[in-house]
């Protein structure tokens, strides 16, 4: 009996929980930085600048974390395709945790001057490197264990780790904002969420240690090792680029608006509401809490829907929906009404979930098993540089330059058009057998 046909030794529920918890912990670390960049890093590490310029500098260090993600994706993808998904996921978890806890111990500009910003940037680069290998490994571990009939649903759960992580980060900050004065929070309270990461990493590591790679991967690995005895193997990244250039292009374009919109809705919105509208940070943090709960529910719901009607229709509903929602997002924020601000953020993240829910299965189904980690990492992390990394910075620059959110709206709409075209160019993949080899 082949490894693919054999009963997996690891139960599906345990695989899903391990992927979800580990992903949530890593994204907690990553998003915590984004929230802190909008709320405190401009004051603590770039205090010589005016508020918007200081925020732009803080978001620039935020963006540098994305620059390191493709390097992390290549390194983790290479060894993930050669050695296994599980081992590399354990490494990424530890690296991320150490970097995040280190941020909580950093001296500020008042302590060591410009070197504080240098250290902050260094830890952010390490964070980016670690998260670069996380996404593909987590979603592939679940996708390769799951059956085609429910792959969209199961693979969406690691995606749900993103709102869980953001929910944790936003929730911790909201509690601190509600229980501390601004002076106390700025003095030392902001450090606590970063130090908490050390505890969460231990939990995530313990849970992930109990899972195994999927049979479909172990069988493909054995075949590749046997073939390599006769002919040297190319690097998986080069093989992915040679064999799947169209699929990489589809994934990159499909992800453009998903990535841009998410960081505008969850990171830039903090700057817009607190600095431009001059409202209390607790208002927008509470809105983000509710929105992340809605996001958490919507992601697996849309993943399950993609199992019934296909990946493309659901993803297209998200790209078109995001383009339309962008037209009302800032007008709702500009009302300065708490409930309408919450509606703006919730609506945006539901449109995002229509893309993010089926995305894991949709992207995994584009590539053959022996290059799947590398192929998905290249597509996912390259987009992170050209889209997500720059989104808060570009949005802040547009707002500062024009004094209006209208150019930011146009920015999202153009991205939605690009992503819609990319998804339309793709084939429907929901029934694909992941053990199938499509090209050599």
pLDDT digits (tens, 9 = 90+) for 180-226: 888 888 888 889 988 988 888 888 788 777 777 766 767 666 666 66
Q: What is the dihedral of CA 166, 172, 175, 178, to 10 degrees?
A: -80
**391-402 vs 245-263: helix crossing angle, rounded to 10:** 50
Tens digit of each residue's pLDDT (9 = 90 or more) over 379-421: 888 888 888 878 888 998 999 899 999 999 999 999 999 999 9
Read off the tokens for 237. Answer: 């990244």
Q: Mind listing the domains of the chain with CATH numbers? A: 12-224+232-424 (1.20.1250.20)
* Res 239 pLDDT > 60: yes
Q: How far apart are CA 16 and CA 141, in angstroms?
A: 9
CA nearest neighbour of 121 among 65, 190, 66: 65
Taking the C-alpha atoms of residue 26 and residue 30, their distance in angstroms, rounded to an integer, is 6
The rounded mean pLDDT for the chain is 83
Q: For the residues 89-97, what does the mean pLDDT come to? A: 84
Cβ pair 339, 403 in contact under 8 A: no
Contact indicator for 432, 307 with CB cutoff of 8 Å: no
- CA dist 156 and 132 (Å) reads 18
**What's the confidence (pLDDT) of residue 52?**
64
Higher pLDDT, 37 or 324: 324
Residue 438 has pLDDT above 50, yes or no: yes
Closest CA to 363 of 161, 143, 210: 143
Residue 370 has pLDDT above 60, yes or no: yes
Q: Report the pLDDT averaged over residues 363-380.
A: 86
Helix ranges restricted to H, 146-268: 151-179, 182-184, 191-208, 215-228, 236-243, 245-263
d(CA 80, CA 372): 9
Say how far apart CA 190 and CA 289 lie, in whole Å.
Answer: 18
Establish how many alpha carbons lie within 13 A of residue 241's alpha carbon, considering only the half-sphere containing its beta carbon: 9
- Band (pLDDT 50/70/90 cuts) for residue 4 is very low
Joined together, the tokens standing for residue 36 give: 């802190």
pTM: 0.81
* Residue 297: per-residue pLDDT: 95
User: What is the spatial distance between Cα 22 and Cα 202, in angstroms, rounded to a whole number?
Assistant: 10
Percent of the chain scoring above 90 in pLDDT: 31
Give, rounded to a whole angstrom, the gap between the first and last alpha carbons of the chain. 25
* The predicted structure's pLDDT at residue 133: 77
CA 17, 22, 23, 27: dihedral to nearest 10 degrees? 140
CB 108 within 8 A of CB 44: yes
pLDDT at residue 9 greater than cutoff 60 = no
Identify the pLDDT of residue 217: 67
């Amino acid at each position: 009996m082949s490894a693919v046909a054999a009963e997996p030794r690891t139960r599906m529920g345990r695989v899903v929980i391990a992927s979800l918890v580990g992903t949530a912990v890593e994204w907690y670390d990553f998003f915590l930085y984004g929230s802190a960049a909008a709320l405190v890093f401009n004051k603590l590490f770039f205090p010589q600048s005016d508020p918007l310029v200081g925020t732009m500098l803080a978001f620039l260090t935020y963006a540098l974390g994305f620059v390191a993600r493709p390097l992390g994706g290549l390194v983790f993808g290479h060894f993930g395709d050669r050695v296994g998904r599980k081992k590399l996921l354990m490494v990424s978890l530890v690296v991320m945790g150490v970097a995040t806890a280190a941020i909580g111990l950093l001296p500020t500009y008042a302590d060591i001057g410009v070197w504080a910003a240098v250290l902050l940037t260094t830890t952010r680069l390490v964070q980016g490197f670690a998260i670069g290998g996380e996404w593909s490994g987590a979603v592939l571990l679940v996708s390769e264990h799951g059956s085609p009939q429910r792959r969209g649903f199961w693979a969406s759960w690691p995606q749900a780790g993103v709102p869980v992580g953001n929910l944790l980060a936003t929730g911790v900050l909201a509690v601190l904002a509600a229980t501390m004065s601004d002076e106390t929070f700025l003095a030392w309270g902001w450090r606590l969420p970063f130090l908490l990461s050390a505890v969460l990493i231990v939990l995530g590591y313990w849970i992930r240690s109990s899972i195994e790679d999927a049979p479909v991967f172990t069988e493909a690995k054995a075949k590749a090792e046997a073939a390599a005895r006769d002919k040297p193997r190319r690097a998986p990244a080069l093989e992915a680029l040679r064999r799947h250039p169209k699929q990489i292009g589809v994934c990159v374009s499909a992800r453009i608006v998903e990535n841009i919109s998410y960081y505008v809705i969850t990171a830039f919105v903090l700057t817009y509401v607190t600095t431009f509208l001059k409202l209390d940070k607790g208002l927008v943090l509470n809105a983000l809490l509710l929105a992340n709960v809605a996001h958490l529910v919507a992601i697996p719901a849309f993943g399950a829907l993609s199992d019934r009607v296909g990946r493309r229709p659901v993803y297209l509903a998200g790209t078109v929906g995001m383009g339309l929602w962008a037209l009302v997002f800032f007008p709702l924020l500009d009302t300065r009404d708490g409930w309408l601000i919450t509606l703006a953020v919730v609506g945006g993240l539901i449109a995002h979930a229509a893309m993010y829910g089926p995305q894991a299965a949709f992207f995994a189904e584009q590539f053959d098993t022996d290059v799947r980690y590398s192929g998905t990492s290249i597509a996912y992390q390259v987009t992170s540089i050209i889209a997500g990394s720059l989104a808060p910075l570009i949005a802040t620059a547009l707002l500062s330059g024009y004094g209006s959110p209208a150019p930011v709206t146009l920015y999202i709409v153009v991205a939605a058009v690009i992503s819609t075209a990319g998804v339309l160019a793709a084939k429907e993949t929901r029934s694909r057998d992941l053990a199938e080899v499509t090209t050599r």
